[in-house]
Amino acid sequence: MELTASDIKKTALSLGFSACGIARAIPLTAEKQYFTSMIENGTQATLAYLERDIEVRFSPALLLPGCKSVIVVLYNYLTGKKLEADYKIAKYAFIKDYHVFIKNKLERVVEMISEAYPEAHCKITVDSANITEKNWAVKAGLGYIGKNSLLQTDNGSFFLIGTILTDVVFEYDAEKISNCGSCMRCVEACPVHAITKPYQVDISQCISFHTIENKEITDNSANTFQWVFGCDVCQDICPNNKNSKPNPDALDKISLFLHFKNADFENLTKEEFQNCFKDSCVTRRKYEKFTERVNKVKIELNGKPNSKSE
């Protein structure tokens, strides 16, 4: 039985994805040149992994030999919930670790492809391989890159991206030419001026970098404006997100810390961290670094250090 692009998209939507597109697997030369220029300018800060395997990042056939198609899905992670505390956590961390459940969903799509084409080869990526997922979402007709360097769509930017590389040829979607126009809200709203100019983010200044990735001692002295994991400022201010709607599928995956009050953050034990943040992306930060950041934000809030972290 022939499997069509339409079949794949219908299945993706039935699995809880918000959108699905398919792009022809070709080397992304212009995108690679731009990325390389950013690396040469040092915008990657201490994220040395961005400097490795750049050729692979923009050539899917180097990840999956014979790759012909890149299937791209978007998952809306909005739950419609808010933290009750003054401490801020990026909305994508409100749900269980997306690496796991998105991969599981995509494995069901791969099963469809394998049933229709027993000789097919497929590779799933969910922010877990050297591949430029945002650029492939653009090539698959799902959106465009905004001035905050994030994927923008007609339905906002609160999306996680997953891909399936395959050596099966499918009908391809056309790239949609669009942009942010004259809007500069994200550039102007960033409290640390990390968006140094449209489409260019200085990672070393970015709040998300300091609250998730930065392992250096200076991390604890950086002002993150109450953010303790990630940052949503440039997305919250974006007009594209004005009408973003919660995803019912995401509601089934809510983490256990959303009920936290200030005192819960400030008196968090290691056991509570492991229990309440389990299956969450927040555990990437580890307990010690997370509580260091909480202590720093507490000082910003009321000038009193957390005795547990002294």
55 lies in the same domain as 145: yes
Q: What's the rounded mean pLDDT across residues 67-86?
A: 96
| pLDDT score of 310 more than 50 | no
Question: CA-CA distance, 104 to 89, in Å (whole number)?
Answer: 25
Query: How many Cα atoms within 13 Å fall on the side-chain side of residue 14?
Result: 8
Domain-located, residue 110: yes
Q: What's the rounded mean pLDDT across residues 131-146?
A: 97
- From 173, 120, 184, 118, select the one nearest 142 (Cα to Cα): 173
Contacts (Cβ under 8 Å, ≥6 apart) of 129: 63, 123
Helix 5-14 with 98-116: angle, nearest 10 deg? 150
Per-residue model confidence (pLDDT) at position 216: 74
| pLDDT score of 116 more than 90 | yes
Higher pLDDT, 200 or 38: 200
Q: Could you identify the residue written with the tokens 């810390």?
A: 257
What's the pLDDT tens digit per position in 143-187?
999 999 999 998 999 999 999 999 999 999 999 899 999 999 999
- Which is catalytic among the residues 7, 53, 86, 127? 127
Q: Among 32-46, 115-129, 191-205, which is the least confidently predicted range?
A: 32-46
Residue 80, Cβ density class (10 Å: 0-12 exposed, 13-18 middle, ≥19 buried)? middle
Classify residue 130 by its DSSP letter.
S
Domain-located, residue 102: yes
Percent of the chain with pLDDT over 70: 93
Last residue of a domain, one of 105, 132, 166: 166
Q: Among 30-39, 56-65, 276-285, which is the least confidently predicted range?
A: 30-39
204 lies in the same domain as 294: yes
Domain-located, residue 177: no
Domain-located, residue 89: no
Per-residue model confidence (pLDDT) at position 218: 54
Domain count, the chain: 2
Percent of the chain with pLDDT over 90: 77
Strands, DSSP E only, in 178-308?
A: 195-197, 200-201, 227-229
Whether 154 sits among the annotated catalytic residues: the reply is no
CB 76 within 8 A of CB 159: yes
Range of the domain at 232: 185-309
Q: What's the rounded mean pLDDT across residues 58-73?
A: 97
Last residue of a domain, one of 132, 166, 200: 166
Domain-located, residue 88: no
Residue 307 tokens, joined: 């005795």
32 lies in the same domain as 144: yes
What's the pLDDT tens digit per position in 183-228?
999 999 999 999 999 999 999 899 999 999 888 755 555 789 999 9
206 lies in the same domain as 289: yes
